[in-house]
C-alpha cells in the first residue's frame, strides 16, 4: 500500500483514492506524488494530476458510453476504478502543468503586430525576349541557369519528402510495431500487451475485448497519422478478464519480451459410457460440481 498525495473533497473521491492506494504500483504512485516530466512548447514541464481532473475525465468517458447506445447511467465500480488507473498511469493525459521552479505553467498569449506595407512604384513591364534575341545577344547561359535551378529545386523537394517520411517512420512507438506484427500474424487470436500496470489491446482486438468485458473503447497516439483504437484493464484483474475472454478467443499476451498463450475453452465435453473415479472427478470440476448420471 502506497500513501498518495491526493486531496479529496467528496465521498466519491475518497473511494477512488482508497482504491488507488491499495492497488497502484510503485511507478504509478511516484507519478501521482511527483508528477511526470513532459516537453511542451519547447519547455520542460511537470504534469501533475489530481482527483478533480479525474472526475472530469470520468464524466467524459461516461458520456462516450452513453453515445454508444447505453440505456442506463449506471456504471460498474470496476470500470470507474479502471478509468482511474488509466488516467493516472497514461502520460499523454494532461493534468495541471507546472514549471520546474514549481509555478503553474500558463500558455503565453501571442500578440499579432500590424505590419505596414511599403508601396513600391509601379514598374513598366519589360518586353519579353524571344529565342532569337537570346541567340543574338549571346545569352544562352541564362537558359542553362534556369534549367539548372529547376533541377536543383526538384532534388531539394525529393530530399525533403524522403526526410519527412523517415521522421514519420521513426515516430511510431516501438512497442506498437511489435504488437502490430503479432496481430497481423495471428488475426484470429486476441493479442494483449503489458504496458505498465495495464494490459492493452489495439485496433480490432480493442473492439473485441471492449464488447466482451464491457470496457470503454478509447484511442491512443502511437506515432501514426491518426490515433489507434484502445481498450485495456489493470493487471490485478488479469486472471478474471482473461478467463472471460478465453470463452470466445485464443489469447496471446506480450509481456517482458515473451509470448504467452491462453487457449480457448472447450465448452463441449465428449460423452463416455464408462466412468471411473478419476474421470468422474475431472468432469465434476469442469461442471462446477454439477454432475448428472443417468
**Which phi and psi (to 5°) does residue 190 adopt?**
-80, 120
Residue 92: band (very low, low, confident or very high) from pLDDT cuts 50, 70, 90: confident
Query: What are 276-285's contacts with CB under 8 Å, separation 24+?
Result: none
If one compares 109 and 220, the residue with the highest pLDDT of the two is: 220
Q: For residue 39, what is its C-alpha cell?
A: 516537453
173: exposed, middle or buried (C-beta count within 10 Å: 0-12, 13-18, 19+)?
Answer: middle
Q: For residue 179, what is its C-alpha cell?
A: 504488437
Q: For residue 85, what is its C-alpha cell?
A: 488507473
Given a cut of 90, whether residue 208 has pLDDT beyond it is yes
Q: What is the mean predicted confidence (pLDDT) over 33-50? A: 89
Q: What is the mean predicted confidence (pLDDT) over 63-91? A: 73
Q: Which pLDDT score is estimated for 277?
A: 44
> For 228-263, how does the pLDDT look when each residue is reduced to its tens digit (9 = 90+)?
999 999 999 999 999 999 999 999 999 988 888 998
**For residues 133 and 155, what is the distance between their CA atoms, to the nearest angstrom?**
31
Identify any residues that bridge with 198 across adjacent strands, giving them in sequence order.
Answer: 195, 234
If one compares 151 and 25, the residue with the highest pLDDT of the two is: 25
CATH 3.40.1170.10 given to domain 174-262: yes
Q: For residue 288, what is its C-alpha cell?
A: 462446477
Q: Is residue 210 helix, strand or coil? A: helix
226: exposed, middle or buried (C-beta count within 10 Å: 0-12, 13-18, 19+)?
Answer: exposed
Name the least confident of 85-99, 100-114, 160-174, 184-198: 160-174
Q: Which pLDDT score is estimated for 2?
A: 83
Given a cut of 80, whether residue 291 has pLDDT beyond it is no
Q: E strand or H helix at 141, and its extent?
A: helix 140-171
Is the pTM higher than 0.85?
A: no
C-alpha angle 17-207-167 in degrees, rounded to nearest 5: 90
Question: Is residue 85 a contact partner of residue 61, using CB atoms and an 8 Å limit?
Answer: no
Is the C-alpha dihedral spanning 200, 60, 106, 10 positive or negative?
A: negative
> For 157-195, how does the pLDDT look when each residue is reduced to its tens digit (9 = 90+)?
666 665 655 555 457 889 999 999 999 999 999 999 999
Listed residue (95, 100, 93) closest to 51, CA to CA: 95
If one compares 220 and 257, the residue with the highest pLDDT of the two is: 220
> For 262-275, how does the pLDDT look when each residue is reduced to its tens digit (9 = 90+)?
988 764 444 434 44
| Span(s) in the chain for CATH 3.40.1170.10 | 174-262
DSSP at 127: P
C-alpha distances in angstroms, 290 versus 175, 267, 276, 277?
45, 15, 17, 15
Q: Which pLDDT score is estimated for 228?
A: 94
Q: Which pLDDT score is estimated for 49?
A: 92
Question: Is residue 10 a contact partner of residue 18, using CB atoms and an 8 Å limit?
Answer: no
Q: Which pLDDT score is estimated for 67?
A: 72
Match 529545386 to its residue by C-alpha cell: 153
Q: Which pLDDT score is estimated for 242?
A: 94
Amino acid at each position: 500500500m502506497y500513501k498518495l498525495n491526493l486531496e479529496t473533497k467528496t465521498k466519491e473521491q475518497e473511494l477512488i483514492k482508497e482504491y488507488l492506494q491499495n492497488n497502484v504500483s510503485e511507478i504509478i504512485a511516484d507519478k501521482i506524488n511527483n508528477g511526470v516530466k513532459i516537453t511542451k512548447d519547447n519547455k520542460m514541464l511537470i504534469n501533475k494530476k489530481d482527483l478533480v481532473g479525474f472526475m472530469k475525465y470520468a464524466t467524459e468517458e461516461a458520456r462516450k458510453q452513453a453515445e454508444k447506445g447505453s440505456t442506463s447511467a449506471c456504471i460498474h465500480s470496476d470500470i470507474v476504478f479502471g478509468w482511474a488507473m488509466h488516467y493516472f498511469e497514461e502520460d499523454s493525459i494532461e493534468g495541471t502543468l507546472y514549471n520546474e521552479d514549481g509555478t503553474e505553467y500558463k500558455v503565453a498569449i501571442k500578440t499579432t503586430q500590424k505590419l505596414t506595407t511599403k508601396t513600391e512604384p509601379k514598374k513598366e513591364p519589360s518586353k519579353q525576349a524571344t529565342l532569337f534575341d537570346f541567340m543574338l545577344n549571346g545569352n544562352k547561359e541564362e537558359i542553362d541557369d534556369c534549367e539548372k535551378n529547376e533541377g536543383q529545386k526538384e532534388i531539394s523537394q525529393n530530399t525533403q519528402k524522403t526526410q519527412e517520411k523517415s521522421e514519420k517512420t521513426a515516430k511510431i512507438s516501438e512497442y506498437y510495431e511489435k504488437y502490430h506484427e503479432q496481430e497481423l500474424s495471428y488475426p484470429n487470436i486476441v493479442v494483449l500487451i503489458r504496458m505498465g500496470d495495464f494490459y492493452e489491446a489495439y485496433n480490432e482486438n480493442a473492439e473485441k475485448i471492449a464488447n466482451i468485458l464491457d470496457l470503454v473503447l478509447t484511442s491512443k497516439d502511437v506515432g501514426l497519422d491518426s490515433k489507434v483504437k484502445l481498450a485495456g484493464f489493470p493487471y490485478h484483474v488479469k486472471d478474471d478478464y482473461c478467463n472471460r475472454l478465453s470463452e470466445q478467443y485464443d489469447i496471446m499476451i506480450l509481456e517482458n519480451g515473451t509470448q504467452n498463450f491462453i487457449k480457448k475453452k472447450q465448452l463441449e465435453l465428449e460423452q463416455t459410457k464408462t466412468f471411473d473415479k478419476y474421470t468422474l472427478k475431472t468432469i465434476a470440476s469442469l461442471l462446477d460440481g454439477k454432475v448428472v448420471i443417468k
